[in-house]
Structure 1
């Protein structure tokens, strides 16, 4: 590209940035609110993508240590290992809670599977709650867009009533533009948020199911020993 072409490219990019900003500003206060919650949703999506990973939900070293301790029949040491995690994970919360409940129960390790299932459901619900914010934005954004549409149309009818004679197009353009822009902004935010919400929920289901299979294998020796003891 020649040096003569660079100023043209810079000016074109500046015009595009101004036009995008003008487009958002024409949406009025409702349009700004929609843009604001879109950034909030983006932050929540990124945070959840970083949080909902196999190595974060079930750190490999923790899983290895727990498998070794439980295979040797030492639930107390496994509980201590879970509590020693500097950043509690899905695996440490589920097994730590379930093992602590089983050691206090009169049924002992015979209650372990029920305790694991209860703790697992509680932790899955917690992950769902952290994702619900994205779903909330996906639901609210189009309703805000509809609100902006109604406000814009009310403004257009007000302009018609206040006009002396037939209303000119330029008297209606601002309100109608706001009405349409807020609808578009609401959909632009809602569609990807809906897709992200569905993806995150499915990812939670998939990873927690995989970790559940790992936990089943870990607690199998304790269940077998408990069954033999009570036989």
Structure 2
């Protein structure tokens, strides 16, 4: 491993940095972008049931999950009308989506630039090779010729080794964000439609202590 780093020359340093950064981003996004953490199934139906019983604890809902925070933002404006609920849900959902897309841009940038860094190493290596060849005793300087060719090959291979998994995970995370967004929209629409047809009094429990959603409601 060290021999490959040395053979690749100084251009292996930014490639190694990109590799470490991409690894950290991938691990962090794998942990963060879990659908059951962001938009657990059944939460929309549970919220509708709690609204019908007048037992919605907004602080519990906000701390439940990012989707819970989105639904809580809409419920806080439930008495202002259907359109206000949709607007607040959209604003809150936009913030959640922005958070889900965090670090995806740097990961995509790594996937794009590492092959170029590898290509730069190839060019630098070939320049060294041709410089040796055109020199007076170029034929006899096999060590320098081998070093230039080695740098050209190693940096190209290293750049592709970093870029390929970075690109794969970038596309994977984009798809996961889209799937979670669709799940959030489905459950948010379920709550919106329920509120549009609900004719009862909407009571909220705003107590911070005892976050059980079934606690006694206290209208606001």
2:66 maps to 1:90: yes
Q: Which moved more, 1:91-100 or 1:136-145?
A: 91-100
CA shift digits 1:147-179 (9 cap, x unpaired): 222222232233345x43333332211122111
In 2, Cα distance between equivalents of 1:195 and 1:110: 39
Runs of 4 or more consecutive aligned structure 1 residues displaced over 6 Å after TM superposition: none
Aligned to 2:153: 180
In 1, Cα distance between equivalents of 2:124 and 2:57: 60
Match of 1:210 among 172, 175, 183: 183
Q: Which has the higher helix share?
A: 1
In 1, Cα distance between equivalents of 2:138 and 2:40: 70
Match of 1:223 among 171, 181, 196: 196
Q: Which moved more, 1:63-72 or 1:195-204?
A: 63-72
In 1, Cα distance between equivalents of 2:116 and 2:106: 16
Aligned to 1:36: 17
Query: What is the total number of aligned residue pairs between the two structures?
Result: 198
Q: Is the CA contact 2:122–2:156 (under 8 Å) kept in the aligned structure 1?
A: yes
Aligned to 2:110: 137
Root-mean-square deviation (CA), in Å? 2.7
Change (3 A) 1:147 1:99: farther
Q: Is the CA contact 1:25–1:32 (under 8 Å) kept in the aligned structure 2?
A: no
Change (3 A) 1:193 1:108: same
Question: Greater relative contact order (Cα 8 A, min sep 6): structure 1 or 2?
Answer: 2
2:128 maps to 1:155: yes
In 2, Cα distance between equivalents of 1:73 and 1:218: 14
Aligned to 2:60: 81
In 1, Cα distance between equivalents of 2:29 and 2:116: 24
SS of structure 2 residue aligned to 1:112: helix
TM-score by length of 1: 0.73
SS of structure 1 residue aligned to 2:103: helix
Change (3 A) 1:111 1:199: same
In 2, Cα distance between equivalents of 1:203 and 1:166: 55
Aligned to 2:139: 167
CA apart distance, 1:134: 1.6
CA apart distance, 1:62: 6.4
